[in-house]
Structure 1
């Protein structure tokens, strides 16, 4: 299969759509244009979100050169199933049958309701026997068709459908790259969920999706300050933009991090009540420079998020008997919340960095959307990973 000349990665987020168009440039990749389109919804009303997604995708279809591009989008991690399998080395046909049997036994749906794909991650030797490590992914056909139909409705024919949790590893590989004998936890904090992808020696090793994200912070601000959801989102975003980096590496004071004493990783505490567009009381004046109220409002939600991330790391290291995680790499809009990186480092004892998904890519300055890309780099991680994947197919 010939490699594409240009790809478009589209991240269908809860609060926004991010897209980048990437082309081959010498031995690297060049970002030709980008788009960040906000969705005027909290994500809890599916009909409203679909309408907003259509509006955002029409903008992408208008701004981007889509005719000859390979278009790639992704299903969110919480709508997919990822399993890691191990088999003794066997012929391809026998391996295919073994994977199908495992899928039938492990997936929560009938195989007629889902589409599956698998890849051999690596072969290792254990006790003089060659073991094949397999990544199995699956998604319900209903969700796949819904996503593809959505893009087709605005003239975007998707060639490849990925998974958000895996795309963050593609972005990391296209930029920093994995170091030998290192375990990295790639953590994408989206609006409605957080994806964690553990990679060891550059190989996918374990994933987990947490039902917590930036929307929990917005809902907390909405409740405490008695404002609408949209106003709370604006306050949160403005506070983050004005204050990120001012702490000079200091913790934001998210103390008393909540932990759950359990070895059962399937125990996933949800994000709580749904957000509402209506204030619980008449709107009051909120001073934009009163950052302490934003911090106080969001502290409990951030503590819970940090606690869940720490518990995931503990499970990976202690229950799966894996090597200790060497660093945490954050992406997503909430990754830019002031002090979160240092507070997470304090809670886990692991160095934390915030991703720059275009640090090794050439960026065409002055092109459409590049200003949004530069100012909101961490939010574009999934889109960059999807676009980069097109050149690796």
Structure 2
């Protein structure tokens, strides 16, 4: 489901995934094979701190320049891109509605959605997916995943692409791109309840998949920058040094245990937010279990985080591999580089797997 108001301009050949994150711009291009995909292009351009804060674009010119730079460096000719948004401007909810056809819902969704959305209905793009549309016709109700994104957020991110000379063909939601890449890399077991958790620099996406559908979606403003800021402040080191310490590097004169204690204090906050989300899921769902967590995002590389979460939450935690079902030419792409950037590419891989008209 690549909804959030898919925006389509003209016809598409093959889409480029463009992930505009808090700390970096990532572009990725795939070629679909009979089984799986082949990596055609991958580029990452770092953004300076404070250019994007809590999903708000503070300096569009710098972001546009970064997009153009990475497109040029990869010699990408395709103009049409899939982009995504996340954060407090995105609302995803599973709601019960009176049973009706898709066309009837299309006509009434604005009115039906109003009570579930904390924004003025005129200020949002709305989309939906009927869950189990072939379900029991005797039931008076049906479940619908409602997606609402503030128009100014969509316009801001689409504008970055157009200013960079690109055409936003699909506008997705981070969490749906995440589940898209997971499904195409691993498949979905309908008997399993999986929490896909992507922790980037500024936002943590939590997407619980139950019976192959979205059971819970949350974007939480916590991520790798909290670790970096805490280490920088408490250890009195530079931003770059704090970034290294966060990932397990050592600096003479700085106690690794002190650094780990700082990391664990942020780990506590991350674990608490995940637990709150799981508690809400269990309270509002017929299912009281989550079988495992699949962790991605640059923050998944923080020293000891998967083990910490496993211990705190009592749930198996594994690192996801967005390139699991993607082959690549090792002369073109260094396997060590792919292994290093893989955790932070889950969203951009999911975007690159999109096609125009996806729902």
Counterpart of 1:224 (choices 228, 234, 248) is 234
Give the equivalent residue in structure 2 for 1:325: 290
Counterpart of 1:30 (choices 25, 38, 46) is 38
**For the residues of structure 2 that align with 1:392 and 1:369, how far apart are their CA atoms?**
33
CA-CA distance at 1:323 after TM superposition: 4.1
Give 5+ residue unaligned stretches, structure 2.
1-7
Give deviations 1:22-78, integer Å, cap 9, x for gaps: 112233211111112111214449665534322320122213454445410101233
Partner SS for 1:222: helix
**For the residues of structure 2 that align with 1:38 and 1:307, how far apart are their CA atoms?**
29
User: Is the 2:27–2:43 contact (alpha carbons within 8 Å) kept by the matching residues of 1?
Assistant: yes
The answer to whether 1:179 aligns with 2:189 is yes
Counterpart of 2:307 (choices 342, 354, 359) is 342
Distance 1:95 1:136, change over 3 A: same
Deviates more, 1:116-125 or 1:154-163: 116-125
**For the residues of structure 1 that align with 2:269 and 2:286, how far apart are their CA atoms?**
25
Partner SS for 2:131: strand
Counterpart of 1:387 (choices 347, 352, 358) is 352
Give matches, 1:103-142, under 5 Å. Answer: 103-123=113-133, 125=135, 128-129=138-139, 131-142=141-152
Deviates more, 1:188-197 or 1:118-127: 118-127
**For the residues of structure 2 that align with 1:356 and 1:233, how far apart are their CA atoms?**
22
Give the equivalent residue in structure 2 for 1:191: 201
Partner SS for 1:108: coil
**For the residues of structure 2 that align with 1:307 and 1:34, how far apart are their CA atoms?**
34
Deviates more, 1:125-134 or 1:150-159: 125-134
Give the equivalent residue in structure 2 for 1:301: 266
Aligned length: 348
State TM-score, norm by structure 1.
Answer: 0.80
User: Is the 2:94–2:146 contact (alpha carbons within 8 Å) kept by the matching residues of 1?
Assistant: yes
Give the equivalent residue in structure 2 for 1:362: 327
Give 5+ residue unaligned stretches, structure 1.
244-285
The answer to whether 1:75 aligns with 2:85 is yes
Counterpart of 1:163 (choices 152, 159, 173) is 173
Distance 1:92 1:359, change over 3 A: closer
Distance 1:228 1:52, change over 3 A: farther
CA-CA distance at 1:382 after TM superposition: 0.3
Give the equivalent residue in structure 1 for 2:279: 314
Give deviations 1:72-102, integer Å, cap 9, x for gaps: 0101233211122222432333222442212
**For the residues of structure 2 that align with 1:69 and 1:353, how far apart are their CA atoms?**
35
Counterpart of 2:110 (choices 51, 76, 100) is 100
**For the residues of structure 2 that align with 1:52 and 1:371, how far apart are their CA atoms?**
29
Give the equivalent residue in structure 2 for 1:253: none
User: Is the 1:20–1:384 contact (alpha carbons within 8 Å) kept by the matching residues of 2?
Assistant: yes
The answer to whether 1:373 aligns with 2:338 is yes
User: Is the 1:73–1:162 contact (alpha carbons within 8 Å) kept by the matching residues of 2?
Assistant: yes
The answer to whether 1:143 aligns with 2:153 is yes
Give the equivalent residue in structure 2 for 1:257: none
Give deviations 1:332-358, integer Å, cap 9, x for gaps: 011111221111111111111101001
Give the equivalent residue in structure 1 for 2:18: 10
RMSD: 2.7
Give the equivalent residue in structure 1 for 2:5: none
User: Is the 2:193–2:290 contact (alpha carbons within 8 Å) kept by the matching residues of 1?
Assistant: yes
Distance 1:151 1:223, change over 3 A: same
Distance 1:11 1:319, change over 3 A: same
The answer to whether 1:210 aligns with 2:175 is no
Distance 1:296 1:145, change over 3 A: same
Partner SS for 1:353: strand
**For the residues of structure 2 that align with 1:375 and 1:11, how far apart are their CA atoms?**
17
User: Is the 1:190–1:333 contact (alpha carbons within 8 Å) kept by the matching residues of 2?
Assistant: yes
CA-CA distance at 1:391 after TM superposition: 7.4
Give matches, 1:257-268, under 5 Å. Answer: none
CA-CA distance at 1:392 after TM superposition: 8.0
